Chain A
């Protein structure tokens, strides 16, 4: 993460960011120099304290809500992958598959740390593995013993994550936090594309699954009806009132039109999906 770039971006929105951080610009230069030496893992925390210092109590509540919402989803993803890798080490085959799931797990962990650091004292309570039910009340009973089931749930989480960040983007309008959210969002999309390839290679009947979300009449191209809610409206081919199928006389098909734009989920829709995997007492609201 290039912390100096982030500050530059903030400066475009808030011209007084440097003064807020410290009235003495020279002191900020010291901070940048420190940033070059500071351990990368410690950066999110350093950033969190810095933003708090800058904005104090004025961090807009909607921004805090979005970040905490994102944090909950990152906890969900992290604990899912981490449990699979640590508690059921033979579930994900050694080699490329294990390497990919480890990469994804590590990114989700980094997202948790980044968001917690950015939120500081405003961060939601920590969610641990035991707060989740990854069988979704039995719908995916063999999620940690059947590799196919594990991949199906993983894909649902990643495609949900992509859609969830998209749905909150406008709340972060003209805020540097939007850039960070977009940087997480595209990583989730990369994960989703890779998992789609893993599902295509390993899940019975899914060999035609594409790295992008293909057209299906009900939006769900995975053939896994238990995750229909993850794909609502993905069949949409109209963007900002323009019909994309055949747009401007081109040969863009209905399939291509649906594939070429991912759709957003509302916060309520994401919460309904996530809560299936969260135990009573810890559910999102």
Chain B
């Protein structure tokens, strides 16, 4: 199974020739993953609360902070995978400044992803397989629209999940990450259309950004994730 969290993958993005073979392997595994999802559904039908050994999806159990951190880990995996693909082969329409900033964002998301992986240790969910088939990575407009979706969704997800956390240190960490995601969101919105950094799409008349519960976030993120995600104790 492809491992999105393999540190080597980040190294590989520096070598475009290796990357191409990596991507070919990825697309093969995406097809393999689609087959596995069917198996997972069957298995899930047998025993919902305790996946059988053949289960290839992941379960987010919101009964405690571990579940919330794994939820954040899942979203950061998705974001990191997206930006790794963009930064390694940017659309021709990107300016040099945009290439630099998307490389920055790539490493921010990798840092977030790896932080959760490390903090969760053996409690971490496995690696998710993304589904970016709806994104045209050679088209600037398509990439920016997807980036905007991911960043705004990330902000709303952290805003909605903060109240679930019971450990002070994790509440602080979530706050430290969400403002960086909001900075990304504002930057991407501004390069799509200057001045839209905090427009009424995302900030309401009371001056509040969006806050979404995990079910709504996962429903929005679902089309971009091939791996089945089970949610319990929400």
Contact = CB atoms under 8 A, between A and B. Distances in A.
A and B bound? yes
A204 interface: no
B43 interface: no
A169 B166 CA distance: 11
Interface in A89-135: 96, 99-100, 103-104, 106-111, 113-114
Contacts of A110: 205-208
B37 interface: no
Interface string B91-131: 00000000001001001111110110111000000000000
A251 to B, nearest CB: 5
A44 B208 CA distance: 12
Interface string A230-248: 0000000001101010011
Contacts of A179: 159-160, 162-163, 211
Nearest to A252: B111
A179 B189 CA distance: 23
Chain A interface mostly helix, strand, loop or mixed? helix
A256 B101 CA distance: 11
A166 interface: yes
Interface in A231-285: 239-240, 242, 244, 247-253, 256-257, 259-264
B207 A114 contact: yes
Contacts of B174: 169
Given A183-B208, A194-B198, A261 B203 contact: no
Interface in B157-206: 158-160, 162-163, 165-166, 168-187, 190, 194-195, 197-199, 202-206
Contacts of A248: 5, 7, 114, 117-118
B110 A186 contact: no
A225 B199 CA distance: 32
Interface stretch (A56-64, A137-145, A170-178): A170-178
Interface residues of A, number: 70
A186 B115 contact: no
Interface centre among B101, B174, B198 (most CB of A within 10 A): B198
Contacts of A175: 163
Contacts of A249: 7-8
A247 B171 contact: no
A184 B8 CA distance: 38
Given A179-B163, A259-B104, A186 B172 contact: no
A264 B169 CA distance: 12
Contacts of A41: 205
B110 A252 contact: yes
B155 interface: yes
A152 interface: no
A190 interface: yes
Given A166-B175, A247-B118, A256 B108 contact: yes
Contact of A262 (B166, B176, B202): B176
Given A166-B172, A169-B172, A261 B197 contact: no
B206 A40 contact: yes
17 contacts: A96-B195, A99-B195, A165-B175, A179-B159, A183-B210, A184-B207, A186-B178, A190-B186, A192-B183, A193-B185, A211-B183, A247-B114, A260-B177, A262-B179, A262-B180, A263-B176, A264-B175
Interface of B: 5, 7-8, 10-11, 14, 101, 104, 107-112, 114-115, 117-119, 155, 158-160, 162-163, 165-166, 168-187, 190, 194-195, 197-199, 202-211
